[in-house]
């Protein structure tokens, strides 16, 4: 995908709907869609038996009723967990979704995906390749492919090799001096940086290199406005009820 062709909306809901619903669940996606969002960022990793599931942490403890490492659990183990009660009683019994289930829901509703490849420790290349291959199949024939992103350059390189036509973005919390080289070496279409690492000059430099610019996780309306004034292409937010998704 050429960076000159950018089919993604300017507003992206973080982990589904950020704080309105339990993160990385179908309930969160539905909550974000109810706020008018058309694109969703979520985290995908491999279970112990090679299934692709939505989960941010390497451990299930924070966001489910269970305890232990995702990499030590089978899909059946994960399916028995309650991934909603930690958030609120209204979401008790919400399950840990597979990437396949999420893709089916998004495509049926005409919604878009930013898949963050979030490998368990030591599984960077394996996860990058698996996510890219599966995404290529799940979104086969889609007008707009999912955007793959990761902090792991190893995972992104594996994704590039496995599914070179899927667009990629490099996630960076701070910007090293060679950030442009890193993005271009991975044939990324975008830089996805923490909002405090961005200013007008960085965004202009990215655009001059043929890169679009995304920013996470922007929850303040004034900061969001400033970033868009600087030319930001996509904003990832938890505040889906405060930062309204408007066409830009």
Counting beta carbons within 10 angstroms of the beta carbon of residue 231, is it exposed (0 to 12), middle (13 to 18) or buried (19 or more)? middle
Catalytic annotation, pick one of 11, 14, 87, 195: 14
Task: Quote the CA–CA distance of 24 and 44 in Å, as a whole number.
Answer: 9
Angle subtended by helix axes 153-162 and 124-138, to nearest 10:
40
Task: Quote the CA–CA distance of 107 and 226 in Å, as a whole number.
Answer: 32
Instruction: Specify whether 173 is catalytic.
Output: no
Instruction: Specify whether 11 is catalytic.
Output: no
* Catalytic residue ranges: 14, 56
């Amino acid at each position: 995908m050429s960076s000159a062709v950018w089919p993604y909306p300017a507003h992206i809901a973080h982990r589904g709907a950020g704080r309105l619903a339990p993160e990385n669940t179908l309930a969160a996606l539905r909550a974000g869609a109810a706020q008018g969002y058309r694109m969703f960022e979520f985290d995908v990793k491999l279970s112990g038996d090679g299934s692709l599931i939505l989960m941010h942490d390497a451990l299930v403890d924070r966001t489910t009723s269970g305890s232990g490492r995702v990499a030590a659990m089978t899909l059946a183990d994960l399916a028995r967990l309650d991934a909603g009660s930690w958030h609120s009683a209204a979401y008790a019994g919400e399950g840990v979704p597979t990437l396949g289930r999420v893709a089916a829901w998004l495509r049926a509703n005409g919604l878009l995906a930013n898949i963050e490849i979030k490998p368990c420790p030591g599984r960077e290349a394996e996860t990058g390749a698996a996510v890219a291959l599966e995404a290529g199949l799940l979104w086969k024939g889609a007008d707009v492919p999912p955007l793959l992103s990761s902090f792991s350059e190893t995972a992104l390189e594996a994704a590039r090799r496995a599914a070179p036509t899927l667009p990629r973005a490099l996630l960076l919390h701070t910007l090293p001096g060679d950030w442009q080289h890193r993005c271009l070496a991975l044939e990324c279409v975008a830089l996805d940086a923490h909002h405090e690492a961005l200013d007008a000059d960085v965004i202009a430099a990215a655009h001059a290199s043929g890169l679009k610019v995304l920013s996470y996780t922007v929850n303040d309306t004034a900061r969001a406005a400033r970033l868009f004034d600087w030319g930001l292409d996509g904003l990832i937010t938890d505040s889906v009820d405060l930062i309204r998704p408007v066409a830009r």
